[in-house]
Each structure stands twice: as C-alpha cells, then as structure tokens.
Amino acid sequence: MSSVKIFSGTASHYLSEKIAQFYGQPLGALTVQKFNDGEISPNFNESVRGEDVFIIQSTFPPADNLMELLLLIDAARRASAKYVTVVLPYFGYARQDRKDKPRVAIAAKLVANLLSAAGADRLMTCDLHAGQIQGFFDFPVDHLDGSAVFFPYVNSLKLDNFIFAAPDVGGVARARNFAKHFAVEMVVCDKHRKRANEIASMQVIGDVEGADVILVDDMVDTAGTLCKAAEILRDKGAKSVRAICTHALLSGKAYENIENSALESLAVTDTIPLRRESSKIKVLTVGELFAEAIKRVHGHESISSLFL
C-alpha cells in the first residue's frame, strides 16, 4: 500500500504544520522559488513516486496562491505520484458560483477546471460558500463541515437561552443545521444589497427578545453584514450577539468594524491566517479535523462521521 506524503504551499504553512502534527508525521520537503519578475517555481525535494500526495494550500488572495497550487499539482503528477489530493481549507473564488447578472464569469467553475487540468485526483475542502460547487468537479470532493469545531465551542459558552441567526437568506440552511443540533430556535436577517460589500437594508424575521443570539456564516469579509445584523438584533431586544464564521477574510476595515460593533465575540477557524490580533476574535483550529480526514481518505474509510 502506498504511503502518505503531506506537503504545504507557502500560504498555508502555518496550518499545514498543525495538520501534519495531528496526523503524526512531518511535512514533506519542497522548495518554492521565485524569479525576479515574480514567476513561481516549485520543486519537491524528495521522491513522491507511487505515493499518495496531499497538497495543502488555501487560495485566498493574492492569486499567486492559486498559481502556486496548480504548479505543485503539476509537479507531483510529473514526479509520478500515485494519487494527488488537493487540500483546500479555504476555496477562493467560491462566491462567484453562478451568473447572477449578465456578462460575468463563473469563477468557481473555472478554478475547478484548472485544478482538474493540473492533474488533481481529489479535493478536500471545508464549508464551501455553496454546497453545489461540488458539482463543478468530475472527481471526488470531501466537503468537511466546520460545525465539527464550532459545536464544542458553542457548548463551552454555557448560554442558557440561546438561538441561532442567519445573517442573510443564503445562510438559512447553515443556521438551521446548528439550531437542529442544539434543538433551539433560529431567526433570519433578510438583507438587500445595492452593490458588493454594501448593504442597503436589513430586517429580522423571528423573535429575539431576551435571547443570546449566535450568528452563523461561512465567511466574514468586510464584516459589514455581521455588524449590521448584530446592531439590528440588539435593537430588536437580543440580550447578546455573537458570531461564528469559518473563513476569516477580514479585508478592508473589517477589524475596525468588529471592534466598534455590538458583537461580543467572533469565533473563526484558521483556514485563513489573521492579519492581526483582536480581543473580540477567537481562532479555532481545523488542523485535527483535516488530519483525521486525510487518515480516513487514505484508509478508504468514511469521513462523514466526523461531522454528522
């Protein structure tokens, strides 16, 4: 049986080290060099012939992270790896998953095509912006659920009267999953945008009077939606408002928005590294989750029990 070799791209080295530690073996040796003009040149420093290779690299900005990943896949394939699994803790460009207006690209499908063309055999990722993105791939996709790390966190809060809230209609299924698990109620914040990252209006569907509300989302970018929702929920009588989001993009004035918001805390995972510390932001690791998933994929075992 082939053995497992785990390698990391430069963008996710901090997380890859945790995954390798939980898995029980060191990261494989590779070098990623750059020419003076910025051109990327990766090189595996050990043999991968006949091995099950797992390449860990999130594709958050800049686009070099995606290009580096594609080159690593190609290098592994040309080095005669038996099986190449791409581990994408954060799948970039996932928000562009459909034609929501004329003459736009479907970037998520394009990225899927690029990964396939580079030679990937399998994809492992966490909390896609939309589960349907799995259908863009013609090879197996292991879609891990971030609730595996958030459920214990919610229990640790020891709240007596808590409910979950979706910050927009698109997040209803995600919030319902949490509400169903804890057998509590949920509400929905219905928002309307004038343009990307700018909210025109928002209203709450449901009763939050006297409740500790936990907002659930897959990612937080500028934090405008979360902060607006927190403000409205408090105005509607919520006792407190917290949030849990898997992917912490936190661009623009996100940190300032969070610090000055009605949010008591924001729990995120380490699929994306924080640019700076914040007293309101708590980071939970998905290292153990991915390490266990890698073990089960290599051993041809089911991974659904990790999060069901």
Task: Give the residue numbers annotated as catalytic, written as ranges.
Answer: 191
* Cα(125)–Cα(141) distance, integer angstroms: 8
List beta partners, residue 149. Answer: none
Q: What are phi and psi of 284, to 5 degrees?
A: -110, 140
| Amino acid occupying residue 271 | T
| Amino acid occupying residue 242 | R
Burial of 78 (0-12, 13-18, 19+ CB in 10 A): exposed
Nearest CA-CA partner of 115 in 148, 151, 71, 79: 71
| Amino acid occupying residue 90 | Y
Residue 24, CB-side half-sphere exposure with 13 Å CA sphere: 5
Peptide bond into 62 cis (omega under 30): yes
Strand-by-strand arrangement of the 240-248 sheet: 198-205, 186-195, 162-166, 212-220, 240-248, 265-269, 281-284
Residue 91 CB contacts under 8 Å (≥ 6 apart), including other chains: 58, 59, 108, 111, 125, 128, 129, 133
Pair 35, 27: CB distance under 8 Å? no
